[in-house]
């Protein structure tokens, strides 16, 4: 399956020949050695790439912010991984993974907003709440101060079904569920 994705990426997405190209593939931290070998074999034998490098995502995260040492936090839809990186090398045996991610934050935001009288049972409205979360939710530094300033920070949203809703404290309360 992945081989087909790469074929499409080279030919249709990038519109380039894979031969004589340099390729960097990012992988999650828990990819087995055998799987890395298969990926490498496919890149050289099927795609004839000139140079190839596999790197774990947390190491590249550190490089992207100009550092080689730190803690990389990767939060996805249903999983969050926390991994120390020291001098550009990840420490896989110190990784922590929790089965909590963006999907749970969206569900909590839906729960908070349902008390405001908007029907959030439709797929379109749930998708819209996810979009609100991704574009407007945030983590506050001082919860009590943020609560006291909320009336001036409320935002008006119009849902796909036409209903309107003012959202304020819910935009940071939903992210508090992470902590």
Backbone angles phi, psi at 16, to 5 degrees: -135, 160
Q: Is the distance from CB of 179 to CB of 146 less than 8 angstroms?
A: no
Say what the pLDDT of residue 90 is: 85
Say what the pLDDT of residue 154 is: 84
Say what the pLDDT of residue 130 is: 95
d(CA 30, CA 73): 15
Mean pLDDT across the stretch 87-101? 88
Exposure string (b/e) for 64-83, b if CB count within 10 Å is 16 or more?
eeeeeeeebebeeeeebbeb
Sole residue written with tokens 């074929």:
7
- Alpha helix ranges (H) inside the chain: 2-8, 33-41, 57-64, 102-114, 123-136, 143-148, 170-176
Is it the case that residue 152 has pLDDT exceeding 80?
A: no
Q: How far, in whole angstroms, is CA 1 from its chain's centroid?
A: 22
Mean pLDDT across the stretch 125-132? 93
Sole residue written with tokens 């947390």:
58
Say what the pLDDT of residue 151 is: 64
Say what the pLDDT of residue 122 is: 85
Say what the pLDDT of residue 146 is: 87
Question: Dihedral of CA 123/153/76/107: which sign?
Answer: negative
Residue 33 confidence class, pLDDT cut points 50, 70, 90:
very high
Say what the pLDDT of residue 147 is: 85
Mean pLDDT across the stretch 4-30? 91
Percent of the chain predicted with pLDDT > 70: 99
């Amino acid at each position: 399956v992945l081989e087909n994705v790469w074929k499409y990426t080279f030919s249709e997405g990038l519109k380039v020949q894979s031969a004589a190209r340099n390729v960097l593939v990012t992988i999650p931290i828990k990819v087995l050695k055998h799987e890395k070998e298969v990926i490498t074999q496919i890149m050289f034998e099927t795609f004839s790439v000139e140079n190839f490098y596999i790197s774990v995502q947390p190491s590249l995260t550190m490089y992207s912010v100009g550092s080689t040492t730190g803690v990389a936090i990767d939060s996805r839809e249903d999983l969050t991984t926390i991994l120390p990186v020291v001098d550009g090398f990840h420490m896989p045996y110190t990784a922590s993974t929790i089965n909590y991610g963006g999907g749970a934050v969206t569900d909590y935001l839906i729960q908070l907003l349902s008390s405001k009288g908007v029907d959030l049972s439709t797929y379109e409205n749930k998708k819209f709440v996810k979009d609100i979360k991704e574009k407007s939710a945030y983590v506050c530094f001082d919860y009590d101060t943020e609560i006291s300033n909320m009336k001036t920070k409320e935002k008006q949203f119009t849902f796909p079904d036409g209903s309107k809703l003012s959202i304020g404290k819910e935009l940071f309360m939903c992210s508090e569920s992470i902590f």
